[in-house]
Amino acid sequence: MDVSRFEKLSETAWRIAPFGGMRAPAIVYATEDLMTEMDDKVFDQVTNVAKLPGIVRASYAMPDAHWGYGFPIGGVAAFDADEGGVVSAGGVGFDVSCGVRTHLTHLTREQVVSVQQELADALFEHVPAGVGSEGEIALDEQGMNAMLLGGAQWAIERGFGRPEDLDRIEERGCASGADPAAVSEHARKRQRREMGTLGSGNHYLEVQEVAEIFDDEIAAAYGLVKGECVVTIHCGSCGLGHQIGTEYLREMVLSAPNYGIELPDRELACAPIKSELGQKYLGAMRAAINCALANREIIGHLARQVFVRFFAQEDLPLMFDVSHNTCKVERHAIDGETRQLFVHRKGATRAFGPGHDSLPEALRPYGQPVLIGGSMGAGSYVLAGVKTSEPQAFSSACHGAGRRMSRHAATRTWGGRQVVDDLRAQGIIIKSPSLRGVAEEAPGAYKDVRAVVDSAEAAGLARKVAFLKPLICVKG
């Protein structure tokens, strides 16, 4: 991306003044090197988002931004319902509430490595992964409705998880305002046998070593100890969320003229928050959030079942679970006034700073854990939310490294077997039902996660706490 098209605000902040129908400026947070690496469509998409009705303050892109459907991946924007603000299915994305959770262990790297292959095999056999994979849970109509309303609470009530987990999940594991009646029969059908499955694409279950600590106090508060291992799960709302996105995008495109909305891009299909369609989509999207929260809770339970076979005392307490790809109602200070906004984060992470009243008491003094997924080989990060992120981007941060090449280009560059063998030589065991999927997610297909995280910290979006190095990756 050509940085000369931006006004440089700092070493990690770049502004585009409103032009051509933009109702607000656009701001990208990244170093010049990362800006140069971004594709030009990020410029088009972050400025198009700024043209949507009711946008507040600015359209933002995080340091891991890359081209997406409508919004850039790594896009953040907030809308005010009282000022004609919209909710956009393209601004949430197809994998509604795709997110990350990290469980702690008290196991050392040496203990995990002593059973590394057997543990990898057991996790792969016990946690369904891949396109169309099915789990042991079959939902009838009543069970589906209960799951869509209850989220992780529903899973725990049925024995898939522990009550104490809820305190460590965003919104205590259940999005309020879910409307199962707004979820189509087709979406329900796609989900009936998919609970407790990883799905495909960049979803994974990893066993990781805490390889580096950057902030001793916050790491201790989070339960992270250098040399010990954690289990991180990245997945979302599977077929149900994808179907909801597909159906409502189509309906919003057709309905936009009726609401007097001129879409800058069909992929930015949206509806006024206060409209019947806007409210119906919000009800369906919140049901999909609950599906994703239940799904990750079940997979966490399955991981616990495997670990206890190898290490009888390990109970894998949950450190935190946070979603990307959502539209959340939050209160933010705008020009000295606190307003209720609908914050879209697509490929971005909520990152509340210290003292936020929505955080569990044990974490409140330190800020929300922000879990940054890396690629299979490059490693992941745990960050902490900071107060400066609120005025910078509605308390948001990056969510991963961000792709630097398409999946198609990745498969032309690497073979799946080659990636598996290369990573094994580095001490990382990959298990996946699809070698093509492994090639698509090759570490080289992603940006330098260290550069992305350093950018986020320098921009005041979050602060570094720990670096996690993978030992086992079950890839979807």
pLDDT digits 0-9 by tens, 30-47? 999 999 999 999 999 999
Burial bucket for residue 116 (CB in 10 Å: 0-12, 13-18, 19+): middle
The pLDDT of residue 131 = 83
pLDDT at 374 exceeding the cut of 90 = no
- pTM score: 0.97
User: Is residue 237 within 8 Å of residue 98, measured between CB atoms?
Assistant: yes
Confidence band for 133, pLDDT divided at 50, 70 and 90: confident
Question: What local confidence, expressed as pLDDT, does residue 130 receive?
Answer: 86
97 is in an annotated binding site: no
Query: How far apart (Å, rounded) are the C-alpha atoms in residues 98 and 296?
Result: 9
What's the rounded Cα separation, in Å, for the pair 72 and 90? Answer: 10
Domain 3-404+446-475 fold: tRNA-splicing ligase RtcB (3.90.1860)
Confirm whether residue 275 is marked as ligand binding. Answer: no
Q: Does position 157 have pLDDT exceeding 90, yes or no? A: yes
Residue 132's pLDDT is what?
80
Over residues 2-26, the pLDDT tens digits come to: 999 999 999 999 999 999 999 999 9
**Structure confidence at residue 74 (pLDDT):** 97
Residue 375 has pLDDT above 90, yes or no: no
Work out the average pLDDT over 375-395: 95
Give the start-to-end residue ranges of the domains of the chain: 3-404+446-475
pLDDT digits 0-9 by tens, 141-154: 999 999 999 999 99
Q: What is the pLDDT of residues 160-186, one digit of tens each?
A: 999 999 999 999 999 999 999 999 999
Average pLDDT over residues 191-215: 95
Q: How far apart are CA 207 and CA 429, in angstroms?
A: 10
User: What are 137's two structure tokens?
Assistant: 């849970």
Q: What pLDDT is attached to residue 372? A: 96
Question: In whole angstroms, what is the distance from residue 442 CA to residue 434 CA?
Answer: 13
Instruction: State the alpha helices, DSSP H only, in 225-329.
Output: 238-255, 276-310
Question: Computed from CA positions of residues 408, 414, 416, 422, in that sequence, does the dihedral angle turn out positive or negative?
Answer: negative
Instruction: State yes or no: 126 annotated in a binding site.
Output: no
What is the rounded average pLDDT of the residues 189-206? Answer: 93
346 near 73, Cβ under 8 Å?
yes
| Burial of residue 136 (number of CB atoms within 10 Å: 0-12, 13-18, 19+) | exposed
Does the pLDDT of residue 308 top 90, yes or no? yes
Q: Specify the pLDDT at position 249.
A: 96
* 51 marked as binding residue: no
Position 185 scores a pLDDT of 97
Compute the mean pLDDT over every residue in the chain, rounded to the nearest whole number: 96
**What pLDDT is recorded for position 291?**
98
DSSP 58-99: EEEEEEEEE--SSSPEEEEEEE-GGGT-EEEHHHH-SSTT-E
- Tell me the per-residue pLDDT of 48-88, one tens digit each, with 9 for 90 and over: 999 999 999 999 999 999 999 999 999 999 999 999 999 99
In the predicted structure, residue 476 carries a pLDDT above the cut 90? no
Number of helices and strands (H, E) in the chain?
Answer: 16, 19
Q: Is 234 annotated as a binding residue?
A: yes
Mark whether 399 is an active-site residue: yes
Query: What is the mean pLDDT of the segment spanning 350-374?
Result: 96
Give start and end residues of each alpha helix (H) in 311-395: 389-393
Integer Cα distance of 276 and 445 in angstroms: 41
41 is in an annotated binding site: no
Residues 6+ apart with CB under 8 A from 254: none
With a pLDDT cut of 90, the percent of the chain lying above it is 96
Which residue out of 242, 356, 399, 408 is catalytically annotated?
399
Whether 109 shows a pLDDT value over 90: the answer reads: yes
Q: How confident is the model at residue 442 (pLDDT cuts 50, 70, 90)?
A: very high
One-letter amino acid at 452 equals V
Point out the least confidently predicted range of 132-136, 250-254, 296-300, 434-438. Answer: 132-136
pLDDT per residue as tens digits for the range 230-257: 999 999 999 999 999 999 999 999 999 9
3-state secondary structure 91-131: HHCCCCCCEEEEEEEEEEHHHHHHCHHHHHHHHHHHCCCCC
